[in-house]
Structure 1
Amino acid sequence: MADCNVDVILKNIFDSKDSNNWTPSDKIPLVIKEIEEIKNDINSFLSNSDYDIATILKEGSEIYADSKALVEEMELCRQEIEQETMAEILKSIEKHDQLVKELQSVNFAIDIVYDVTQCGKYVKEFDEGREAQSFTRAIEAVYDLVQYVEMPVEGFKYLELYTNTKNTAQLILNNLLHDLYAEWDRLVNYIVRTGPRKTIITITLNLEDTIIVNDVLNALDRSKKLTEKVSEFAQFLLKDVITPIINNDCTVYAETEVLMTVTVNHKQNFKPPYDAVIANLRLLFHYLSNKLNVEFNGVNTIMKMVGQEICHAFRDVLVKDCLIDTIPNNINELQSYGRITSEIQDFQLFLTLVKFFPDEKLSILNYINDIDVLFASKSCQYFLETARAIMFKDLSISMSIGVENIPEANVEPKATFDAHVEGALKILDETIPRSLFYFPRCMISKTTQELLDLVYMMMEQAVQCSDVVSKKLYNTTRLVFELYDAVVPYHHENYLQTIPQYVALFHNNCMYLAHNLQTFGDKWLILMEGRELDYPISFVDLVQKLRDLGYKHLTLHMQQQRKQILDNIRSSDLNCIVVKDVLSDNAEAAVRQCLRQLQLLKNVWIGVFPGNVFTRLMATLVNMFFDELIHRVCTVEDISMEMATQLTEIYTLVVQKAPQLFQDSSDIDNHVKSWMKLQELIFVLGGSLKDIEKHWMDGVGPLAVHFRTEELRSLIKALFQNTQFRANLLSKIK
């Protein structure tokens, strides 16, 4: 049968040429015709089909009839069930619910009776335990009873019997625990009596391997209170016995088999040696082992429980407060440290044998794994503490150091080098002064040399140590010099502000340390030759820092000396020449005081500073003193004859005394710039106009060299009256 496309058929029918003028009656015949053709096609298709359509339709009709009969039969069954069977089912359900309620009531009563019976059973067991004088049986019964009444069945807790039983059980348990605690205190007793000079600790242990002791221990264990009591005793041992033995002078003595006395003597700044600590701990643990290794529950002992509680804390305290201190601070003692570790290992074995240490080999010697780090820290701490102690010492205890004169270059046969190398060596020889390698003769504090000896010792030790220790020592050596910068000026501050000798020695100390640091890094590198270093070694950056430190305090002291000189002058009549005709005695007294001050500085500084440094410092102060004296006169507008005479006498005294302030009297000519100017000022004060004219010599004489034109003209106007001769002289001085 060909496919029938309804849309195509309809389109063919209605889409004709006269599609716009058709009526339904026109199209109906066409539609009917198409339907008939389709029917014929269907009949033709069915007749040619492989299936027996008629038979299929017949069978379908029969199945429909059977199904309809079955549905009617099922409906009849449903009606019969609803009317008869459901009534019987409802009666059965009602009877079942009644039986369930009766069963629940019976079970409820049985549970309550069972709980009452169990409580009675536990009470009976408790009575039997007390009659047998067994704490263990009694505590087990009461403990079980207390736990049982904590989870009662429904209904039991509403009975008056439940409340009475629960209260009675708790009361009995509390009384039993009180008796057990009393027994424990009898077995394990300790008293601490603290006094101002010593603390006495007595420990009494009556633990024996007897039935009574085992009964008490098992009862405490069953009530879960043994761990609490043992922990309390273990913490007492750690805090009040073991820690004082490790940190104080102690006497451990077993008075009897059950009594031990530990006497802790209170001594300030005392640290017991490690061997004394180990000896005392051996006595303590031997006593504890004899009394606490009592087995209960077949395997456990009090000693093991004490060890489990505090063994790790004990090890940490022993290592931190005692054994760490045994690590030496020098390489020679470190090499023989094996003897100490052997003793510690023996002590560790002893602690294992007495069952204080567990079987997993808890080691005291774990700190040895970091021996290099610990040794580095210990030695560095020792060196820093030693250096700090040296820095606190008196600076005035001094010693001579350095050379008087730089030795001449030794004539040695020259090796043959390449022309470029020889040229470089020549430039180096011409550039670097020989004074770089020599320190001038002066005085330094002995503590400075002591400090240098210490850092040289640190350097020598670093060379013999591992890279970790060596690096740590190098950094510590640098830290020593930084510590010097921080500690010495602060600790000796008062002396540096008031005592010139201290300032001089401190300045020299800084210069001497800086001088040594210039080559200290090279010496270190030479000794470390052959080792691969991952850090640079140099101390050159500290050189200028130390020099600046010395300069700073010397400069401050020089300013203080200058201020004293200026204050002396400015507090006298020399500061008010303009308002006086005659100077009082305080002017000469002020000048003499300044000279005495400078003389005192000479007496203190000469021989302490290097010669050239002393000369420069003294020249600086003297020149400032002269400048102030000259300034006092050159700024006055009018000076009387009497005052000029007084000034001449006072300044002449200065000229006579000043050369004595130097090692060589000629030093004043070479280093004091105002020396000749002061002498020329004295000449002007005591001379005539004619003498001044001769010294002026038309601008080429001594006065022209040392005085500015304005100064000289002002001085002449102040000293001499206005005459024609003065006017002529002033006209020449231009």
Structure 2
Amino acid sequence: MAVTAIASHNFARVITSQVDGARIVHQEHDAADPATMDELMETASALDTEIQSIKAQVYKKLLANFTEFTQSFENSLELNGKIDELLRQADEMTSQTIDPETGLRQKVMSALVNHHEVSYKVQENDSILEGLKHFSRVDDILSQYEDCMDSGNILQAGHCIQQAAKVLAQPPNAGVESSNITKHLTEQCTRMSEAIDHMLDQLIASAIHFNHTEHDSTYYYQLFFSYTIKVPPLALPRAGSAYTPGSIRWHELVRALTLLELASDKLRPLQKSILRNLLQPLIQFHKDSTLELVSSASNYASADGSSISLSVNLGHGRSEQATIFDDVRRVFEYIHQDIFLNEYSSPEFNAHQVSSDTEILTHVVGRHIAKEASAMILKYYLTDIIPLNINELSQFGSISAEVIRFEDDLIAMGFLTEADKELRDFVENIDVHYTNRKRDTLLKQGRAIIISDDFKVIPVKDLDRDDELEQERSSWSIGDHDTDLKESSISVKAKQLVDMILTTLQGAAPLSADASPYLYQATRSLVDLYRVLMPVYHERTLTDVPALTILFYNDCMYIARELEKMTDRLENGIPGMDEVLYDDAIPSLKALAKKWLDFQVQKQREELMQSIDEASRFHDSGVESNFAACERAMKQIVYVFRHLGKAWKLLDDVAIRVIKEIEDLGDISEKESHKLAIICGLLFECEDQFDSAGPLVEEVKGDAYNDEDPIHYFVPSWEKFQLMTDILELSFAEIMTRFRAGQLHMFKVQELSNFVCSLFADTPLRQRNLEEIDQGHPFRRS
């Protein structure tokens, strides 16, 4: 880089020229100002003097620093040369680095590639070495497995397989994990596990023996355990090995099963056999069962085995026998001591375990057996001995104590936990089970009575004769006169159901406040069952037989009446309830009774009206055939009414219809009038149906009751019907006499006039009498 030097005199010259230039510019500028020439000359002179002074100062400073300035300039020239040399060297080094053939960069890149290849080979060799060490460890473990199998040490062999599997599951690198050797070794471990599994099955089969026979009513079962078990020969022994099968003890096999976590699976057949072939027959047929034990577990070290057997001879129960809980307890004690070896304390058996092998077996095998056995005891024993009466219930305490003691023993042995108290819960709630059984029995017996086709009857007055409550009260009810039952009959089944309800409620008195309401609910269920089942099961009978409809009506009313008296019959009530009421059941029974009565009345009304229609509505009754048809119709009415009992409205409807038909006949001959009177007179046979209804009318009318015939109260048109029948037989004079006496007031004037015109010919007498009748009925004297 070129450096321009300026000498001192040149520098002064330049400064002077620049100052002179400035002055000229200034002068040109000032020339434009309106100033005098003298002023301008004076100013220019001042400036020139000042510039000269400044120049002198600049020269003075330059001269004072000239040496330093010269040295700096020389140094800058030297430094510029060095920089040029460095740039040259940098260019040379760049050329040496980037040269594609001899450049340093190419050499470095080649070295890095070689280093990477070497590192990869080193890592690959390390992985191979790790894999070889890994496979060597697995091979050593598998060699130990073969040695253990040769010696019959099934437990150590199992440990070897577990260890080998664990090592294979943790490969040192991905290459080992994906190698064929790992796959081969894994398959080999699987085959070895299967070999152990097969050997365990053979050892268990050699240790446990079942003997099971059944013939007709005889059953025999034996379970035998061999404590010394011969090890079976290997299926594929190693070539050249001097293998001689030995034997192992039962506790060694148990240890192998528990530590290999195979006990639950391998002992499942034993579990099923004990449940199905030992405990179930023992519990289900306990009265005919004999249990025998040959136990040597207390001296297990020298014992060869133990056994338990059960024989069942149906129909030949023992006269003296242990209770079911004693025998079942003996079975579990045998399992605990002789199979699970609870009393065997060898260090090899239970050493270094959080839980002993006995505890493990009791948990994974025994607990299921205990729970199933408890369920069997509930099903085959306890549910069958639920008391049926209060005396049996009071004696159930001894069984409860035995159940609790039995369950506590199973808990102490570890077969059950404190939460597994199904049997205790059952006996502690025996009151509830008792009431449930009573309910089921009640409903079962009640259903049989309800669906029975036996409709035998019994007079209510015979039932009320010895009923103090009924003698103290009146069965007549104002506004509900249809419920009168004193002169009625009911079916025996209604009486049976009422007796069952009363007996059940009386049986609830000694129970607890929690249990007794269940029996009350059971009686309500019986009433509901009656209301639902009776009309459905006997629908055709109740529809087609009017007498049975009335009987069903009476039954419903009788049951309702007796339910109303239940509170009075149970003087002290039942525990847990203030009152024994059937407030909703009673109206439902009465509504059901009325529903069927109304249905039957309507059905019979339609049939009776049809009978009247078929009798030609009493036309030409003087003709014998017509008279016979009318007579049949009226007899049918009497027959139906007698069988419908209190269907009083039906008789009123018939009377109104007969009156209307006769009024509509028009001309009635003397013979026809007589025949009609005979036909109407047939209905008078219905009057005896009201003989017992006087007290009801008296209760309704109170002081206004004058011993009148009850039929006139229940059949308002009856008096009019009687008078119409009389009119058919009376002379004209007798009719007018009764009219003048005010005895025909129930006939309208027009009705009476029509009767007169129908019965008597048109004569001056009839005309005068009609004019009198048209004047209206005379005043009636009381």
TM-score, normalising length: structure 2: 0.61
AA partner of residue 126 (structure 1): Y
1:155-174 to structure 2, matched below 5 A, reads 155-174=175-194
AA partner of residue 357 (structure 1): F
1:242-261 to structure 2, matched below 5 A, reads none
Does 1:293 pair with 2:331?
A: no
Q: Which residue of the partner structure matches residue 463 of structure 2?
A: 401
1:260-659 to structure 2, matched below 5 A, reads 278=325, 281=328, 285=332, 288=335, 292-294=339-341, 297-298=349-350, 299-301=356-358, 302=361, 305-312=364-371, 314-315=373-374, 318-319=377-378, 322-323=381-382, 326-328=385-387, 330-348=389-407, 351=410, 355=413, 357-358=415-416, 363=421, 364-383=423-442, 385=444, 387-388=446-447, 391-392=450-451, 394-398=454-458, 400-403=462-465, 440=486, 442-478=488-524, 480-522=526-568, 524=570, 526-527=571-572, 538-539=581-582, 543-574=586-617, 577=619, 583=623, 585=625, 587-589=627-629, 591-592=631-632, 594-595=634-635, 598-599=638-639, 602=642, 617=646, 620-639=649-668, 643-644=672-673, 646-652=675-681
5+ residue gaps, structure 1, are: 1-89, 266-273, 411-427, 606-613
Rounded Cα–Cα distance in structure 1 between residues aligned with 2:677 and 2:164: 120
Rounded Cα–Cα distance in structure 2 between residues aligned with 1:662 and 1:358: 74
Q: Which residue of the partner structure matches residue 780 of structure 2?
A: none
Rounded Cα–Cα distance in structure 2 between residues aligned with 1:383 and 1:649: 55
Structure whose CA Rg is larger: 2
Does 1:119 pair with 2:176?
A: no
TM-score, normalising length: structure 1: 0.64
CA shift for structure 1 position 527: 1.7
Rounded Cα–Cα distance in structure 1 between residues aligned with 2:310 and 2:504: 46
Q: Deviations over 1:300-319 (max 9, x none)?
A: 24556422334345435644
CA contact (8 A) 2:641 2:686 kept: no
AA partner of residue 182 (structure 2): Y
AA partner of residue 229 (structure 1): K
AA partner of residue 300 (structure 1): D
Rounded Cα–Cα distance in structure 2 between residues aligned with 1:626 and 1:311: 80
CA contact (8 A) 1:376 1:469 kept: yes
Q: Which residue of the partner structure matches residue 3 of structure 2?
A: none
CA shift for structure 1 position 340: 1.0
Rounded Cα–Cα distance in structure 2 between residues aligned with 1:581 and 1:373: 72
Q: Report the more deviating stretch, 664-673 or 136-145.
A: 664-673
Q: Report the more deviating stretch, 458-467 or 565-574.
A: 458-467
Give the secondary-structure state (helix, strand or coil) at the position aligned to 2:489: strand
Give the secondary-structure state (helix, strand or coil) at the position aligned to 1:704: coil
AA partner of residue 634 (structure 1): E
CA contact (8 A) 2:220 2:311 kept: yes
CA contact (8 A) 1:187 1:207 kept: yes
CA separation of 1:163 and 1:401: change in aligned 2, threshold 3 A: closer
CA separation of 1:459 and 1:733: change in aligned 2, threshold 3 A: same
AA partner of residue 647 (structure 1): L
CA contact (8 A) 2:634 2:680 kept: no
CA contact (8 A) 1:659 1:668 kept: no
CA shift for structure 1 position 182: 4.6
CA contact (8 A) 1:695 1:703 kept: no
AA partner of residue 164 (structure 2): L
**Percent identical residues:** 19
CA separation of 1:528 and 1:618: change in aligned 2, threshold 3 A: closer
Does 1:226 pair with 2:288?
A: no
CA separation of 1:359 and 1:474: change in aligned 2, threshold 3 A: closer
CA separation of 1:586 and 1:432: change in aligned 2, threshold 3 A: closer
CA separation of 1:519 and 1:261: change in aligned 2, threshold 3 A: closer
CA contact (8 A) 1:344 1:365 kept: yes
Give the secondary-structure state (helix, strand or coil) at the position aligned to 1:598: helix
Q: Report the more deviating stretch, 539-548 or 706-715.
A: 539-548
1:96-135 to structure 2, matched below 5 A, reads 104=123, 107-135=126-154
CA separation of 1:406 and 1:324: change in aligned 2, threshold 3 A: closer
CA contact (8 A) 1:698 1:732 kept: no
CA contact (8 A) 1:648 1:682 kept: yes
Rounded Cα–Cα distance in structure 1 between residues aligned with 2:150 and 2:470: 111
AA partner of residue 572 (structure 1): A
Give the secondary-structure state (helix, strand or coil) at the position aligned to 1:705: coil
AA partner of residue 591 (structure 1): E
RMSD value, Cα: 5.3
CA contact (8 A) 1:250 1:262 kept: no
5+ residue gaps, structure 2, are: 1-107, 230-247, 294-305, 315-320, 351-355, 694-707, 775-782
Q: Report the more deviating stretch, 484-493 or 129-138.
A: 484-493
Give the secondary-structure state (helix, strand or coil) at the position aligned to 1:398: strand
Rounded Cα–Cα distance in structure 2 between residues aligned with 1:134 and 1:640: 127
